[in-house]
Structure 1
């Protein structure tokens, strides 16, 4: 099982979640973060850290954001790893 970064992250890209991830499974896109589904250990440490509630367990992903499961799986392996907090896009 894995967690998925969904629509609320798009355009804000807070990185509070990446610093608590014990396996460093977050990857950075231009407008959104991604979780690598093969690296996520389902610990849920990232979920309460997300200030915009953008991280969901794949089984609880809202239907309107179902496509984000595949997007995370496709984009994470092709994006740079992120392990340190950065200034979010939402704060300019």
Structure 2
């Protein structure tokens, strides 16, 4: 099991969760953040600091956003498990489903 970042994060990328993560498993795409499921240690440190309540334990993702568990996994299809987001930096793209969503006004 792992934590999942869902739709409320799109176009927000506050990064409070990144600063709180002890294993550096939260990666930044162009429009949202993603948790690398193989690197996540399920500590839950990221969840309470998310200002938009976008982070959920995998079994607790609301039904409307359940597909974000798959989106988080598929985002790492080409990246694999790089061993830390700080080393990678901003990835520069998003999962195709996220990229195709309308931009939110900020």
TM-score, normalization by structure 1: 0.83
| Greater Cα shift, 70-79 or 48-57 | 70-79
Pair 1:23 & 2:23 matched: yes
RMSD: 2.1
Bigger Cα Rg: 2
Secondary structure at the residue paired with 2:16? Answer: coil
Give a deviation string over 1:31-68, Cα, whole Å, max 9, x none: 10000111111100000110000000000000110110
Q: CA separation in 2, counterparts of 1:76 and 1:10?
A: 17
Relative distance call for 1:32 and 1:82 in structure 2 (3 A) is farther
Aligned residue in 1 for 2:95: none
Relative distance call for 1:32 and 1:18 in structure 2 (3 A) is same
Is the 8 Å Cα contact of residues 5 and 56 (structure 1) preserved in structure 2? yes
| Greater Cα shift, 68-77 or 57-66 | 68-77
Aligned residue in 1 for 2:61: 61
Aligned residue in 2 for 1:4: 4
- 1 or 2 for the larger relative contact order (CA 8 Å, sep ≥6)? 1
> How far 1:13 sits from its partner (Å)?
1.0
Q: How many residues align?
A: 85
For structure 2, the residue ranges without an aligned partner over 5 or more in a row are 88-103
For structure 1, the residue ranges without an aligned partner over 5 or more in a row are 84-89
Aligned residue in 2 for 1:87: none
Pair 1:40 & 2:40 matched: yes
